[in-house]
């Protein structure tokens, strides 16, 4: 087809704008909802509409991730914004009958307020959504991610048009520097500064790279952006390419994200077809070629120099800096690498200006940040908030508080490079500076809520196991150091901890942080250090009392029934798979220790808190006391 001009872009926007206000049934097509059957829901909705002869009134659209994953599969009725949750394919005909034909609401599938249990119809009245401030996620769930016209209808590619046709590279860099946008991938380096260094670097060939190798366990921000709005990533890259003078770029995506790869590939093909990529984009004379490079699964490849080695077809091992990638990066040529979310922020900055961007957030941490809120909160999913609001607001208001019957213990931020923040620090604002003071990092945005069922020592062991396994092996402090720390932690969790272990861990952590080559090693001890800092008593109980408070470490716990609390409801006895819980109905139960395998089934089943966890040798201690 003919290449698009700026007039053509305006025509498409006008033509498709009206579509967004027509009747549309937006079925969430994020990975979570697809797993819940949203593809079948879409088919069933379409079939029912056809059956009733009203296909022309409503179109069914498969969107990207809506964010409210815990309540999926989701359905949003546009333009009114009526929100249905936990849909099943069998619900589709009833929904059409009630909502579309009869004009009523299908109450049982509406969102229920976490406190009052009252139904909430409109998406904008649900606290999970209305407390968020969208930036990078602004198009999520409201456009069809596989349709470039819809992206253009919501001002898509107008940022690129402005950058390519009206701005010089220096002006673009100045605007982005002015916004104080910091890299959203983890380290928080100022994006504009990185671009400036690369723009000034000498070289005919430069590269623009997008980091979609989201390896943090417990994080899925980039995945959702790539799935819900792939074109925004391309547009951000076009603008960056113009700023630094690159004509070739790669998007590095994890192979574990097949849907993201497919949608990006489709987006690139559409953009090529419209002349928004390739030669002479929008008649500006600027060329850019973009390719997708599927990663092969290595956490360290999130580190920029390692990622570049991986694109070169080698083992993903980092190399020392300087020279910085902005001077010598991929194939030894000047390269800029930014994270998916960083690129997703760029088009709005160019369109609306740096001041608009700075109007949200704080002075040093500007704009908004996407977090993946998971764990023991009521409302888990993907959220975008302005910097500066408190962690408590995120947990209590957006997250809807803790799951019923659970008590907050810690908030883990930043994955294996981050740390755990305890209850007493929940009121600090979310900014790069304030989070670092706690020992954690903002990181890429994984936010996991822990409750009293989680053992902090075991959690530290989990993260260190991850880092030790993912260490590339190039430098000794990281390769050997993380392994030695891990072995200490495994011993502590197994009940073989010794006096002095905590000090040894702190000592090792210090060495690894100082001496490691790249970010992986420099931050790997953070989960251990923060848990020691805030939950030292748990470490001490593991080592001295052989007691895991949460009953997670099997060698360090004894489950017993508190007779004063037991109502004899038999829930625990029914949950026990090995027949260790005995007792008659309405009478207090007890646990036969010889049979107990410490699977926690009874602990989880008890609604009265009568099953408790004691130290490993609590009964032998009692016997000792009796003997005396």
Partner 1 sequence: MGKNVLVVDDDEIVIRSCEAVLGGEGFTVTGVTSSKEAMSLINDHAYDLVITDLIMPTIDGFELIKWINENHQQTRVMAMTGYSSKAVLRDAIALDIIDFLPKPFFPHTLTAAVNKAISTPLKAPAAVSDKEEAETYDKAKFQAILKRYRKVPGALIVVLQETQELIGYLPASVQKVIAKSLKIPVSEVHAVVSFYSYFTMKPMGKYNVRVCLGTACYVKRADEILEKLQETMGVNEGEITQDGMFSLETVRCIGACGLAPVVLVGQDTFGSVNPATANEILKEYQ
Under rule CB under 8 A, residue 466 binds partner 1: yes
Which residues have CB under 8 Å from 578's CB, separation 6+? 595, 596, 597, 599
Under rule CB under 8 A, residue 380 binds partner 1: yes
The per-residue DSSP string of 417-460 comes to GSEEEEGGGTTSB--HHHHHHHT---TT-EEEEEETTS-HHHHH
In the set 32, 302, 334, 481, which binds partner 1 (CB under 8 A)?
32
Under rule CB under 8 A, residue 36 binds partner 1: yes
Under rule CB under 8 A, residue 31 binds partner 1: yes
Quote the least distance from Cβ 372 to partner 1, whole Å: 6
Restricting to residues 134-163, name those near partner 1 by CB under 8 A: none
Under rule CB under 8 A, residue 57 binds partner 1: no
Query: b/e map of 381-399 (b: 16 or more CB within 10 Å)?
Result: bbbbbbbbbbbbbbbbbbb
74 and 41 in contact (C-beta within 8 Å)?
A: no
Quote the least distance from Cβ 67 to partner 1, whole Å: 9
Which residues have CB under 8 Å from 232's CB, separation 6+? 136, 139, 151, 156, 225, 343, 344, 347
Under rule CB under 8 A, residue 504 binds partner 1: no
Quote the least distance from Cβ 536 to partner 1, whole Å: 21
x/- map, 583-602, partner 1, by CB under 8 A = ----------------x-x-
Quote the least distance from Cβ 316 to partner 1, whole Å: 7
In the set 9, 34, 199, 349, which binds partner 1 (CB under 8 A)?
34
Q: Name the residue with tokens 């099953």.
A: 611
Under rule CB under 8 A, residue 70 binds partner 1: yes
Q: Which of the stretches 250-258, 390-398, 588-596, 619-627 binds partner 1 when contact is defined by CB under 8 A?
A: 250-258
Give the C-alpha distances (Å, rounded to integers) separating 309 from 323, 333, 337, 491: 15, 12, 13, 36
Which residues have CB under 8 Å from 116's CB, separation 6+? none
Under rule CB under 8 A, residue 407 binds partner 1: no
527 and 420 in contact (C-beta within 8 Å)?
A: yes
Quote the least distance from Cβ 412 to partner 1, whole Å: 7
Quote the least distance from Cβ 68 to partner 1, whole Å: 8
Which of 32, 495 has the CB closer to partner 1? 32
* Whole-angstrom distance, CA of residue 169 vs CA of residue 574: 69
* Whole-angstrom distance, CA of residue 118 vs CA of residue 105: 14
Quote the least distance from Cβ 85 to partner 1, whole Å: 12
Which of 30, 192 has the CB closer to partner 1? 30
Under rule CB under 8 A, residue 213 binds partner 1: no
* Whole-angstrom distance, CA of residue 435 vs CA of residue 432: 6
Q: Which of the stretches 155-163, 176-184, 334-342, 380-388 binds partner 1 when contact is defined by CB under 8 A?
A: 380-388
* Whole-angstrom distance, CA of residue 319 vs CA of residue 309: 9
Give the C-alpha distances (Å, rounded to integers) separating 469 from 118, 261, 524: 47, 26, 11
Number of residues assigned to the chain: 628
Quote the least distance from Cβ 218 to partner 1, whole Å: 3
In the set 78, 412, 482, 516, which binds partner 1 (CB under 8 A)?
412
Under rule CB under 8 A, residue 111 binds partner 1: no
In the set 72, 361, 367, 439, which binds partner 1 (CB under 8 A)?
72
Query: Residue 56's CB: how many other CB atoms inside 10 A?
Result: 9
Tell me the CA end-to-end span of the chain in Å, nearest whole number.
Answer: 93
Quote the least distance from Cβ 477 to partner 1, whole Å: 19
Q: Which of the stretches 170-178, 340-348, 465-473, 496-504 binds partner 1 when contact is defined by CB under 8 A?
A: 465-473
In the set 92, 219, 354, 486, which binds partner 1 (CB under 8 A)?
219
Restricting to residues 347-376, name those near partner 1 by CB under 8 A: 372, 374-376
Half-sphere exposure of 344 (CA within 13 A, CB side): 30
Under rule CB under 8 A, residue 415 binds partner 1: yes
**Which one, of 225, 223, 227, lies nearest residue 215 by Cα?**
223
Q: Give 538: exposed, middle or buried? Use CB within 10 Å, 0-12, 13-18, 19+.
A: buried
Quote the least distance from Cβ 170 to partner 1, whole Å: 32
Restricting to residues 292-331, name those near partner 1 by CB under 8 A: 293-299, 310-316, 331
Phi-psi bin for 234: left (phi > 0), alpha (psi -120 to 50), beta? alpha
Under rule CB under 8 A, residue 214 binds partner 1: yes
Q: By CB under 8 A, how many residues form the interface with partner 1?
A: 58
Under rule CB under 8 A, residue 472 binds partner 1: yes
Q: Which of the stretches 202-210, 239-247, 249-257, 278-286 binds partner 1 when contact is defined by CB under 8 A?
A: 249-257
DSSP code of residue 544: I
228 and 190 in contact (C-beta within 8 Å)?
A: no
Q: Give 609: exposed, middle or buried? Use CB within 10 Å, 0-12, 13-18, 19+.
A: exposed
Report helix, strand or coil for 113: coil
* Whole-angstrom distance, CA of residue 135 vs CA of residue 369: 8
Quote the least distance from Cβ 313 to partner 1, whole Å: 4
Quote the least distance from Cβ 462 to partner 1, whole Å: 6
* Whole-angstrom distance, CA of residue 526 vs CA of residue 440: 7
Angle at which helix 169-178 crosses helix 191-200, to 10 degrees, equals 160
Under rule CB under 8 A, residue 543 binds partner 1: no
x/- map, 561-580, partner 1, by CB under 8 A = ----------------x---
x/- map, 442-461, partner 1, by CB under 8 A = ----x-x-x---x----x--
Under rule CB under 8 A, residue 210 binds partner 1: no
Under rule CB under 8 A, residue 35 binds partner 1: yes
Which residues have CB under 8 Å from 517's CB, separation 6+? 318, 320, 474, 475, 478
In the set 257, 343, 559, 603, which binds partner 1 (CB under 8 A)?
257
Quote the least distance from Cβ 18 to partner 1, whole Å: 33
Interacting residues with partner 1 (CB under 8 A) = 31-32, 34-36, 68-70, 72, 214-220, 223, 255-258, 293-299, 310-316, 331, 372, 374-376, 380-382, 412, 415, 446, 448, 450, 454, 459, 462-463, 466, 470, 472, 577, 599, 601
């Amino acid at each position: 087809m003919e290449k698009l001009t700026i007039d053509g872009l305006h025509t498409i926007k006008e033509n498709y704008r009206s579509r967004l206000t027509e009747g549309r049934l937006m079925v969430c097509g994020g990975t979570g909802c697809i797993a819940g059957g949203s593809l079948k829901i879409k088919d069933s909705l379409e079939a029912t509409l056809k059956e009733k002869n009203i296909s022309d009134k409503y179109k069914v659209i498969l969107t990207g991730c809506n964010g409210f994953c815990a309540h999926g599969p989701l359905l949003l009725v546009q333009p009114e914004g009526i929100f249905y949750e936990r849909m099943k394919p069998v619900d589709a005909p009833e929904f059409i009958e009630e909502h579309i034909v009869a004009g009523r609401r299908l109450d049982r599938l509406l969102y229920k307020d976490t406190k009052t249990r009252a139904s909430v119809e409109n998406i904008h009245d649900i606290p999970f959504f209305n407390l968020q401030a969208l930036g990078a996620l602004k198009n999520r769930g409201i456009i069809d991610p596989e349709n470039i016209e819809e992206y253009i209808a919501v001002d898509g590619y107008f940022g690129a048009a402005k950058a390519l046709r009206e701005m010089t590279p220096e002006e673009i860099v100045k605007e982005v520097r002015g916004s104080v946008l910091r890299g959203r991938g983890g380290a928080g380096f100022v994006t504009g500064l990185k671009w400036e260094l690369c723009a000034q670097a000498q070289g005919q060939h430069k590269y623009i790279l997008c980091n979609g190798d989201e390896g943090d366990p417990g994080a899925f921000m980039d995945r959702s952006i790539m799935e819900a709005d792939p074109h925004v990533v391309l547009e951000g890259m076009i603008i960056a390419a113009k700023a630094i003078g690159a004509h070739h770029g790669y998007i590095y995506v994890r192979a574990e994200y097949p849907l993201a790869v497919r949608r990006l590939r489709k987006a690139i093909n559409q953009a090529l077809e419209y002349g928004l990529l390739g030669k002479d984009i929008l008649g500006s004379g600027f060329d850019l070629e973009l390719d997708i490079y599927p990663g092969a699964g290595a956490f360290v490849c999130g580190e920029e120099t390692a990622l570049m080695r991986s694109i070169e077809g080698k083992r993903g091992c980092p190399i020392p800096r300087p020279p910085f990638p902005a001077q010598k990066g991929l194939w030894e040529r000047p390269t800029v690498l930014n994270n998916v979310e960083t690129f997703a922020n760029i088009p709005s900055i160019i369109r609306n200006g740096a001041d608009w961007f700075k109007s949200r957030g704080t002075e040093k941490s500007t704009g908004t940040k996407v977090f993946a809120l998971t764990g023991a909160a009521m409302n888990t999913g993907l959220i975008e908030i302005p910097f500066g609001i408190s962690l408590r607001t995120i947990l209590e208001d957006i997250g809807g508080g803790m799951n019923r019957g659970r008590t907050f213990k810690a908030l883990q931020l930043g994955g294996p490079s981050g740390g755990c923040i305890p209850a007493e620090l929940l009121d600090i604002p979310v900014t790069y500076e304030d989070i670092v003071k706690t020992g954690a990092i903002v990181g890429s945005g994984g936010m996991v809520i822990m409750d009293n069922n989680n053992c902090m020592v075991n959690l530290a062991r989990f993260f260190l196991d991850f880092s030790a396994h993912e260490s590339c092996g190039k430098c000794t402090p990281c390769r050997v150091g993380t392994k030695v720390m891990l072995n200490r932690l495994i011993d502590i969790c197994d009940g073989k901890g010794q006096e002095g272990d905590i000090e040894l861990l702190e000592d090792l952590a210090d060495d690894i942080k100082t001496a490691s080559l790249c970010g992986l090693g420099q931050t790997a001890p953070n989960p251990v250090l923060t848990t020691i800092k805030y939950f030292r008593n748990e470490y001490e109980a593991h080592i001295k009392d052989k007691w895991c408070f949460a009953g997670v470490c099997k060698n360090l716990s004894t489950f017993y029934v508190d007779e004063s609390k037991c109502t004899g409801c038999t829930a625990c006895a029914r949950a026990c798979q090995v027949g260790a819980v005995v007792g008659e109905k309405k009478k207090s139960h007890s646990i036969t220790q010889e049979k107990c395998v410490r699977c926690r089934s009874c602990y989880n089943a008890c609604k009265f808190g009568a099953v408790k966890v004691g130290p490993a040798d609590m009964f032998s201690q009692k016997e000792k006391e009796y003997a005396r």
